[in-house]
Amino acid sequence: MNRIVSNISIAALAMTVTLAANTTQAGTYHTPTSFVEPTAWNVGDANTTYQEWDILASAIGTTPDVGHTVNPAISSTPGLSVVDIDSETPGTGFVSGSANYYSFSQHYGIGADIYNHGGPSGAGGLPAGSGTYVIVQAGLSLNGGTGFFPGTLQIVDPNGGAIAGGDNASAIQQSNLYFGTGIPSPFGPVDYSEDLWEFFLPNYVGDFRVRGDIIVHSSFDVLRVDSAIISPGDVTLDRSVDGADVDALFAEDGNSAATAGLQFDLVADGTIIATPNTTDSDIDELVHNVLGTEYGDSNLDQIVNPTDLADLTLNWLGTGKGWADGDFNGDTIVNPTDLASLTLNWLFDNSTGPVETASVPEPSSLILLGAAAVGVLSRRRRA
């Protein structure tokens, strides 16, 4: 499994973790690890989990020894175990003298049970449609260039069942963090690799298992798993839903969910539709149902008013623009089409605050106001 990036859009690539080494204590082979911190959240943030293993004390249910932090609290503790290859039953691997997992005789697997905030022991109360963003980092020695068998590192449910987005082919990133040759080990010099995988599990907030199959004579050394609950509509996976998500979704118009990323498929039909006011439109789902607003609301305060008109006017005829600039159809240009969208939804108000109408122009005068502003800007550009 030599690919570095799989099924990742430009928007999704922008939000992936920064490969900056930390100083986590490692095991026998490579100290410190090259494991990285998530960029979209910090360990201990709300609705996240962190668990990391180095000293593997037991073949079944080893608890994290490097660190384990969840917020809010979850009553169950994650465990790492040796399992049979291609199954969830206890495997033939064992704990070596260097506190790693190993097998002399045949291939084996590992399974890390992670307890999530929407699972039976979690606090629950998560928004409908939330998903889970999972980052897996693992280090192991290689046998003939292989550690994990290609395509086997995946996310499954606690019983080994498939989860949408958890199969290896759906990983939004796979990266090599470290590769070393001639690394000292109890069995002589070995090749050693530390790798990272990222997954997004749409509409899934339950417990899960990190699962992978390992070649015989490969020593499994260290594991870190981070996870975060992702709100509906957060297509950039940065733990906020804003204009950047609207722009990112517009950019994926017409792509398949497999190509763009499952987080973009808000209506779950396999295709990304980012045309406003159309059937099964993902952009309508984001604007209307997630953000609770209308086309024309540039600052996403759930009101279409002179503030939004000012944003549009300021960027009139500009290119390379986004939602916050007044581009309401995703063509990256602020032009009469966007003014028409704003006009159509003028004085839309879905906010909870008081509505101030005395100083707000009527829709008929809005067009004149916009035209006047356009004329002023055009004269300035010519000057």
Two structure tokens written together for 104: 């002399």
> Given this model, what pLDDT does residue 382 score?
55
Is the per-residue pLDDT at 5 higher than 70? no
Is the per-residue pLDDT at 86 higher than 80? no
> Given this model, what pLDDT does residue 188 score?
81
Is the per-residue pLDDT at 116 higher than 50? yes
> Given this model, what pLDDT does residue 25 score?
36
> Given this model, what pLDDT does residue 134 score?
98
Is the per-residue pLDDT at 294 higher than 80? yes
Is the per-residue pLDDT at 250 higher than 60? yes
Reported as a single tens digit per residue, the pLDDT across 118-128 is 999 999 999 99
Residue 22 binned pLDDT confidence (cut-offs 50, 70, 90): very low
Please give the share of the chain, as a percent, with pLDDT higher than 70.
84
Residue 68 binned pLDDT confidence (cut-offs 50, 70, 90): very high
> Given this model, what pLDDT does residue 367 score?
54
Q: Which residue has the higher pLDDT, 355 or 309?
A: 309
Residue 18 binned pLDDT confidence (cut-offs 50, 70, 90): very low
Reported as a single tens digit per residue, the pLDDT across 174-229 is 999 999 998 887 778 899 999 999 999 999 999 999 999 999 999 999 999 999 99
Is the per-residue pLDDT at 255 higher than 60? yes
Domain boundaries, the chain: 10-230, 235-291, 294-383
- In 254-337, which ranges are E strands? none
Is the per-residue pLDDT at 346 higher than 90? yes
> Given this model, what pLDDT does residue 2 score?
33
Radius of gyration of the chain (CA): 25
What distance in Å separates the CA atoms of residue 334 and residue 318, rounded to the nearest whole number? 6
What distance in Å separates the CA atoms of residue 110 and residue 81, rounded to the nearest whole number? 6
> Given this model, what pLDDT does residue 24 score?
36
What distance in Å separates the CA atoms of residue 7 and residue 277, rounded to the nearest whole number? 28
Q: Which residue has the higher pLDDT, 307 or 24?
A: 307
Is the per-residue pLDDT at 263 higher than 60? yes
First vs last Cα of the chain: how many Å apart?
58
- Mean pLDDT calculated for residue range 42-52: 98
Residue 352 binned pLDDT confidence (cut-offs 50, 70, 90): confident
Q: Which residue has the higher pLDDT, 30 or 178?
A: 178
Residue 17 binned pLDDT confidence (cut-offs 50, 70, 90): very low
Residue 353 binned pLDDT confidence (cut-offs 50, 70, 90): low
> Given this model, what pLDDT does residue 299 score?
98
What distance in Å separates the CA atoms of residue 373 and residue 368, rounded to the nearest whole number? 8
Please give the share of the chain, as a percent, with pLDDT higher than 90.
77
Tell me how far CA of residue 321 lies from CA of 298, 312, 328, 331, 332, in angstroms.
12, 10, 10, 8, 5
- Mean pLDDT calculated for residue range 278-305: 97
> Given this model, what pLDDT does residue 29 score?
76
Mean pLDDT in the chain? Answer: 87
How many other CB atoms sit within 10 Å of the CB of residue 260? 27
Reported as a single tens digit per residue, the pLDDT across 370-383 is 555 555 545 545 55
